[in-house]
Structure 1
Amino acid sequence: MKYLCPLQFYQMPKIFLKNTLLATAISLSTLMANAQQVHEPNLNKPEWSAAYQPFRIAGNLYYVGTYDLCSYLITTPKGNILINTGLAASAPMIKANIEALGFKLSDTKILLTSQAHFDHMGAMAAIKKMTGAKLMVDAGDSAVVNDGGSSDYAMGGSDTMLFQPVKIDRILHDKDVIKLGDMQITMLHHPGHTKGSCSFLFDVKDEKRSYKVLIANMPTIITERSFSDIPAYPSIASDYAYTLKAMKGLSFDLWVASHASQFDLHKKHQSGDAYNPAAFMDRKGYDDNLDDLQKEYDQKMNTTGK
């Protein structure tokens, strides 16, 4: 299944921040936050904020997001991990979903994001403040997280904050391992959609068996411009090519994604359905999705020449 993010894009200034300037970037983003207000784009996507009943996906992995914006809770004896937070207004819903499953938001120890866009980072600052959890982010998205989206290559602008900036506690690089309790999560650097888009690979276990789970950040192309016309992201074409190849070679038992529509969640699970990890054993759906994205990438490259 093919999924495209229906975003409106703005051209950003030529801002290049390196990891060695992280402390300066944090200070600058704080000053900018005081001078700016967040302007979350209104894309009239009701499914992004619509409520959805939380459920157990497999083992200690749970779905706690909205109807389409996926948030995932991974529980451990030492506290929990929350991946993605939806829009800014989603914090109360995520909290309620976590509590409906019998857990506490306050037990969240680690926050992760699959991409630094407002529809996945919107409530991150609020939830970090509520929980005191440590935020860990792919290095490629660190600048965007620090400035609230102002430096995003597609949607940013010097006077635009799309979400509240958040202090990063740990910068992640490809194949870094995140550990909490008995969980080990490998972050996979999958750039293109954003400079620091990433997926997460880990094992969970229930009463019957263990499952290797992939939370995939699908490499959807979100710009109508030629790749060569994006000076703020000169490696975008090669990054997409890398990610498409890398994702095709992954091995896993179950997969989910950043948007419910990307992995046909609502065909695989209806509210009230019994626990059924097998519903997410859909390698064909994953491969078909990547094939569609590969065709779109190839067409863009052939049409623009670069």
Structure 2
Amino acid sequence: MKGLSFLTASIALVLATHAQAATPPAPQHYSNAAWTQPQKPFRIYGNTYYVGSHGLSAILVTSPRGHILLDGTLPENVPMIEANIRALGFRLEDVKLILNSHPHFDHAGGIAALAHDTGAQVVASAKAAKALKLGGEDPDDPQYGDASPYAKVEHVRIADGGETIKLGPLALTMHPTPGHTPGGTAWTWTSCEQTRCLSMAYVDSIALLTANNGHYRYTDPAHPERIADFRGTIDTLAKLPCDIMIAPHPDSINLIEKATQHGGNNPDALIDPNACKAYAAKAQVNLDERIAKENAKSKSPAR
């Protein structure tokens, strides 16, 4: 009887542990409530759809041979993203690939769960893959310790810069854009409506870092790659094929507002062939101002 009691207790412990592991993460309160605010899914152009929350983008590119999802936003948003995909008439199991803009919790936090639920293969740059496998706890990320960790992504296929990821008729090209994170990535592809085909660009964040309690310096002489990487990214962004630009934070480019116009009387409201160039120019201005500020601070007499 003692052996049976011990076995029963052991089984109960295993089941309890499994149930705890399977329990979804408790909802958190974020500084931006729009990050978890529901958003009705909509067509951006052709076979490209928005399936994210109101404040965080998740993009679905579809084909009869399977679909590609870009970004997973927050863990709490996974049910929303999956419901949005279904609401558009698509099946979760037809999502075959998941790509990522950069491996922070607000864009990659839901990827592990989405990969599990869809059976999709996750694809990322080598540096992003490292961070995804570590659940965002990457010591090489300047924001290490500041950004929240998330569920580790166990299996990640590594894509090289300039590589085109294909799925049936779909072809998405990866462009390394380090700066906000070492593994920052832009993705480009073509979407068509009837005989009109446009270049789509999903561009990563260009936000400058304030990591290490605000002591992160782009002008640190020990790290010349910081400015070099960002300048390279700016050059890449300016040259992207880009009729319609999409960003991980839709509010940064007024995407939802423009989409409302798109669904109304202005079907071309999202089309702007100069959007990526303007985005790059904005990044250049921000970087120049940051460099000037850091140089001025370094020349100031100590108090």
Same fold, TM-score > 0.5, yes or no: yes
Q: Are 2:222 and 1:235 aligned?
A: no
Q: Are 2:63 and 1:76 aligned?
A: yes
Query: Among 132, 137, 142, which residue is 1:154 paired with?
Result: 142
Query: Among 20, 32, 38, which residue is 1:51 paired with?
Result: 38
Give the unaligned 5+ runs of structure 1. Answer: 1-33
Instruction: Classify the secondary structure of the residue corresponding to 1:43.
Output: coil
> What residue in structure 2 maps to residue 204 of structure 1?
191
Per the alignment, do residues 86 and 247 of structure 1 end up closer, same or farther by CA in structure 2, a change over 3 Å counting? same
Provide the C-alpha distance between the structure 2 equivalents of 1:62 and 1:281, rounded to a whole number of angstroms: 15
Query: Among 72, 89, 92, which residue is 1:85 paired with?
Result: 72
Instruction: Classify the secondary structure of the residue corresponding to 2:62.
Output: strand
Provide the C-alpha distance between the structure 2 equivalents of 1:203 and 1:272, rounded to a whole number of angstroms: 18
Which shows bigger deviation, 146-155 or 188-197?
Answer: 146-155
Provide the C-alpha distance between the structure 1 equivalents of 2:80 and 2:206, rounded to a whole number of angstroms: 27
| TM superposition shift of 1:262 | 2.0
Q: Give, as a single letter, the amino acid of the residue that structure 1 aligns with 2:93.
A: S
> What residue in structure 2 maps to residue 61 of structure 1?
48
> What residue in structure 2 maps to residue 281 of structure 1?
271
Aligned pairs, how many?
269
Which shows bigger deviation, 202-211 or 285-294?
Answer: 285-294
The TM-score normalised by the length of structure 1 is 0.80
Provide the C-alpha distance between the structure 1 equivalents of 2:76 and 2:131, rounded to a whole number of angstroms: 20
| TM superposition shift of 1:76 | 1.3
What is the percent sequence identity of the aligned residues? 30
Q: Are 2:254 and 1:264 aligned?
A: yes
| TM superposition shift of 1:265 | 1.1
| TM superposition shift of 1:186 | 0.6
Work out which structure has the larger RCO, using CA pairs closer than 8 Å and 6 or more positions apart in sequence. 1
Q: Are 2:119 and 1:128 aligned?
A: no
| TM superposition shift of 1:61 | 0.6
The C-alpha deviation readout for 1:209-267, integer Å capped at 9, x for no partner, is 11111111132212242125597x76222111110112112232211111111221132
Q: Give, as a single letter, the amino acid of the residue that structure 2 aligns with 1:149.
A: G
1:71-220 matches, within 5 Å, as: 71-151=58-138, 153-157=141-145, 162-220=149-207
> What residue in structure 2 maps to residue 255 of structure 1?
245
Provide the C-alpha distance between the structure 2 equivalents of 1:194 and 1:127, rounded to a whole number of angstroms: 22
Question: Higher Cα Rg: structure 1 or 2?
Answer: 2
The C-alpha deviation readout for 1:253-304, integer Å capped at 9, x for no partner, is 2111111112211321229925965221124444333322211111222232
Q: Give, as a single letter, the amino acid of the residue that structure 2 aligns with 1:252.
A: C
Provide the C-alpha distance between the structure 1 equivalents of 2:116 and 2:57, rounded to a whole number of angstroms: 21
Provide the C-alpha distance between the structure 1 equivalents of 2:250 and 2:265, rounded to a whole number of angstroms: 18
CA contact (8 A) 1:87 1:123 kept: yes
> What residue in structure 2 maps to residue 221 of structure 1?
208
Instruction: Classify the secondary structure of the residue corresponding to 1:99.
Output: helix
> What residue in structure 1 maps to residue 289 of structure 2?
299
CA contact (8 A) 2:262 2:269 kept: no
Per the alignment, do residues 239 and 251 of structure 1 end up closer, same or farther by CA in structure 2, a change over 3 Å counting? same
CA contact (8 A) 2:237 2:277 kept: no
Cα RMSD (Å):
2.8
Per the alignment, do residues 42 and 294 of structure 1 end up closer, same or farther by CA in structure 2, a change over 3 Å counting? farther
| TM superposition shift of 1:90 | 0.6
